[in-house]
Amino acid sequence: MIRRAAAVALGLAMTATPALAHPAPLGIGGFFGGLLHPLFVPAHVLAVLALGLLIGRQAAWTGLVAITFILGLTAGLGVMTLGVVPLLMNEAVLAFALIAGLLVAHARSMPEAVGCVLAVLAGFCIALDSPPEAVTLSEANRMLLGTGIGAALLLIAVAAVAARLTRGWPRIAARVLGSWIAASAILVLALRLVR
């Protein structure tokens, strides 16, 4: 009886796969899983969408804000390769989504330095909130590279679309979307802080 139980337990243990708390999107690993990662984490989508809307709505800003976002992402991903995974990064990303969403809804011109500070910190926190759940180190590095490129491309695409929303109802729709992003971030943060 004990031998059968041991044989069954051994058989089940040999068929087990790695336990991942945050698996790759759609089961896709490596670079392409990382590339899709910013689209499948709601806090990341909110933050990048709000920041992209903010960049696109500020006519006086240059591409420097997007560059600082990419620099923040790069620095955060570099820290991530050292094995550092700080706590509460998802909440920090939500806080940046809240701030950027409120600034989009406010619809006032601001100094580019404000956008640069917000962008570099948001990029850094998004990167630190993207630990790859991979079995090998090379796959984890490919996922991190894909995550950085995916977040950067998403930001640039949203900013390019937002820059075209200058008149009439599209301008108002961008402000409404900013307020919805801020409200969503507030709700999620409130739920997390109550726990």
**Does residue 16 belong to any structural domain of this protein?**
no
**Does residue 22 belong to any structural domain of this protein?**
no
3-state secondary structure 32-50: HHHHHHHHHCHHHHHHHHH
**Does residue 20 belong to any structural domain of this protein?**
no
**Does residue 157 belong to any structural domain of this protein?**
yes
For the question of whether the overall pTM of this predicted structure is more than 0.75, the answer is: yes
The pLDDT tens digits of the residues spanning 30-61 come to 888 888 888 989 999 999 999 999 999 898 89
**Does residue 74 belong to any structural domain of this protein?**
yes
Q: Given the structure tokens 């990029």, which residue do they identify?
A: 123
**Does residue 15 belong to any structural domain of this protein?**
no
Residue 176 contacts residue 185 (beta carbons within 8 Å): no
**Does residue 4 belong to any structural domain of this protein?**
no
Q: State the pLDDT at residue 24.
A: 54
**Does residue 24 belong to any structural domain of this protein?**
no
46: containing domain: 30-194
The pLDDT tens digits of the residues spanning 109-133 come to 999 999 999 999 999 999 999 888 7
The total number of structural domains in the chain stands at: 1
